[in-house]
Amino acid sequence: MAQAPPTAAPEDAPATPEDALAIVEGVPIDTRHWIDGTRVPSASASTFTDHSPMDMDMDMDGAPLARIARGGPGEARAAVVAARTAFPGWAATPPAERARLLHAVADGVDARAEDLAAVETADNGALLRSHRRGVMPRVAHNFRYFADRLLALGHEDFDTRGHTNHVSWDPAGPAVLITPWNAPLMLASWKVAPALAAGSTVVLKPAEWTPLTASLLADITHEAGLPPGVFNLVQGYGEEVGAPLAADPDVCRVSFTGSVPTARRVAGAAAAHLVPCSFELGGKSPLLVLADADLELAADLAVEQYDNAGQVCLAATRILVEEPVRDAFLDRFLDRVSKLTQGDPRDEATDIGPNIHPRHVERVDGFVRRAVEAGAKAVTGGGRNTALGGNYYLPTLLTDVAQDSEIVQEEVFGPVLTLQTFPGGDDDEAVRLANGTRFGLAATLVAGDRDRAARIGARLVAGTVWVNCFFVRDLSAPFGGSRDSGIGREGGDWSFDFYCDLKNTVTAPKGWTRHG
């Protein structure tokens, strides 16, 4: 996931007693760290400011949502020590009890779904209706799924020359989970739930641009009855608190979702202690439209790539259309774009809200400006929606782009799509274009011929291929990417494989002495 890395802002300041509590959309939020079952201020007594993307202008002015405790090496170490101390007890907790507690966390999410939805929308600008109807129910589902999957976890014993092999999953130890800003609580729950289910303890470090629902999650885990130190939360900038977390010798797993450059730094820090890492790093996914496709469906799926203002790691931002249907597809696509409503994400009628931060909008706009200067044509959009404010970027489609151009090769992470074509019947060229980046997270294929779709789909480099659909995500399926899109898979038993140490116990059939 590409993003402009936040850095310390000039307005960071010493904490005051009032800084420990923020009221966002009527919801009280404690903005201190959560370490070893209690709220902890920063040892340096400093804070950083959290803004809403809805009211920030390009000068980064706007009313602050909250002042957040700013952690550093001291808070990182304290959280890891708490997780290490709590680990033996949590690992020894019977699976049924761990599952019960995870269901209690899910109950807490359900009970506070409206609060969580309102706060998340204020914090990251995604649609309130999506948070209410889809995201927060899915957060609760994530905890329930891994609770239930824990109780079903197992492998049949098997025989080797009369010896019995028994496979077991042993909890690995403290896990550091570093999560992004585009879907803060959802992506945190994809990591927190399986880690806790596996018997590992957790230190969560949320993105500094969107820390608020993670703090509410700390309250929910406490109310659900998780023992002190099992779930810990530290807040702050990546270089100040994320880096020491990844480098701590008592950490046993690191899971990170974010940008490729940051992943390289995390991997380097973890490598010193041979700590396994799981990375989900975004992509530059293709959407292939074949000549026999249902073009109404194809246009619907293409417009869906503007979801969350284009800030979706697996978005199919490169539209590849078979030449004979290029114009027919484009007419349908542009008609749908013209009907999109951009505005306040709290409004039920809004389809596209703001991007996350003025610095990120500038990054997105830079990609578009350079593409146009290089010869690309913006057939829709192409700049900021100045009528709404600095963080709103118009849904954009660029044509006349070269395969080796920056706009085709690099992740923009905004509402910007490109359109390319391939000759009719030329599957090799379609695959070449689709696979022609350093990423490999996902691919979407719209086709009428099942056999042709299967042949092309089998050749695509992607962790997930959707055929005539998009973003159908079952937690039992593996999720992750190839190439620069990441390392490892999340979901189902793959999550337990990461947060556990797998053990095979081989027992001989002879040599037993009966006692008593």
Taking alpha carbons only, the member of 72, 78, 74 closest to residue 239 is: 72
Q: Which residue has the tokens 């010193």?
A: 272
- Residue 84 included in any domain: yes
d(CA 70, CA 47): 5
- Structure tokens, 23: 């009221």
Residues 184 and 332 in one domain: no
- Residue 511 included in any domain: no
Residues 276 and 324 in one domain: no
d(CA 185, CA 180): 9
Per-residue pLDDT, 455: 98
- Residue 429 included in any domain: yes
- Residue 510 included in any domain: no
- Structure tokens, 471: 């973003």
- Residue 482 included in any domain: no
Strand 286-289, strand 442-446: pairing: parallel
Domain residues for 380? 286-467
Residues 189 and 303 in one domain: no
Is 252 considered catalytic here? Answer: no
Please report which residue ranges of 160-203 form alpha helices under DSSP H: 184-197
DSSP structure string for 194-209? HHHHTT--EEEE--TT
Would you give the end-to-end CA distance of the chain in angstroms?
62
Question: Pick the catalytic residue: 75, 120, 240, 280?
Answer: 280
Residues 382 and 413 in one domain: yes
d(CA 505, CA 44): 49
Residues 277 and 302 in one domain: no
The per-type count for the chain, helices as H runs and strands as E runs, is 16, 25
Question: Pick the catalytic residue: 313, 411, 490, 500?
Answer: 313
User: What are the respective helix, strand and coil percentages of the chain, to the nearest 5?
Assistant: 40, 20, 40
**Backbone φ, ψ for residue 405 (5° rounding):** -75, 160
CA dihedral 193, 259, 396, 341 (to 10 degrees): 30
Residues 461 and 322 in one domain: yes
- Residue 497 included in any domain: yes
Count of the separate structural domains present in the chain: 2
Residues 167 and 299 in one domain: no
Q: CATH no. for residue 397?
A: 3.40.309.10
Q: CATH no. for residue 83?
A: 3.40.605.10
Per-residue pLDDT, 347: 96
Q: Which helix (H) or strand (E) holds 416?
A: strand 416-422
290 contacts: CB under 8 Å, gap ≥ 6? 322, 430, 445, 446, 447, 448, 449, 452, 453, 456
Written as tens digits, the pLDDT of the chain (516 aa) is 655 444 444 445 555 555 689 999 999 999 999 999 999 998 888 999 999 999 766 555 567 899 999 999 999 999 999 999 999 999 999 999 999 999 999 999 999 999 999 999 999 999 999 999 999 999 999 999 999 999 999 999 999 999 999 999 999 999 999 999 999 999 999 999 999 999 999 999 999 999 999 999 999 999 999 999 999 999 999 999 999 999 999 999 999 999 999 999 999 999 999 999 999 998 999 999 999 999 999 999 999 999 999 999 999 999 999 999 999 999 999 999 999 999 999 999 999 999 999 999 999 999 999 999 999 999 999 999 999 978 999 999 999 999 999 999 999 999 999 999 999 999 999 999 999 999 999 999 999 999 999 999 999 999 999 999 999 999 999 999 999 999 999 999 999 999 999 999 999 998 777 764
- Structure tokens, 244: 């020491």
Residues 249 and 383 in one domain: no
- Residue 7 included in any domain: no
Residue 321 in contact with residue 364, Cβ under 8 Å? no
d(CA 36, CA 34): 7
- Residue 506 included in any domain: no
Q: How far, in Å, are 26, 49, 289, 298, 447 from residue 294 at the CA level?
A: 46, 48, 9, 6, 7
Residues 386 and 264 in one domain: no
Residues 147 and 225 in one domain: yes
CA dihedral 268, 180, 205, 496 (to 10 degrees): -80
Residues 293 and 233 in one domain: no
DSSP structure string for 50-82? EE-TTS--TT--S-EEEEEE---HHHHHHHHHH
Q: What is the CA radius of gyration of the chain?
A: 24
Is 313 considered catalytic here? Answer: yes
User: What's the predicted TM-score (pTM) here?
Assistant: 0.94
Residues 321 and 458 in one domain: yes
Q: Which residue has the tokens 């578009």?
A: 368
- Structure tokens, 445: 């294929």
DSSP structure string for 250-300? T--EEEEES-HHHHHHHHHHHHTTT--EEEE-----EEEE-TTS-HHHHHH
Walk across the sheet containing 158-160 and list its strands. Answer: 158-160, 163-171, 500-507
Under DSSP, is residue 290 helix (H, G, I), strand (E, B) or coil?
coil
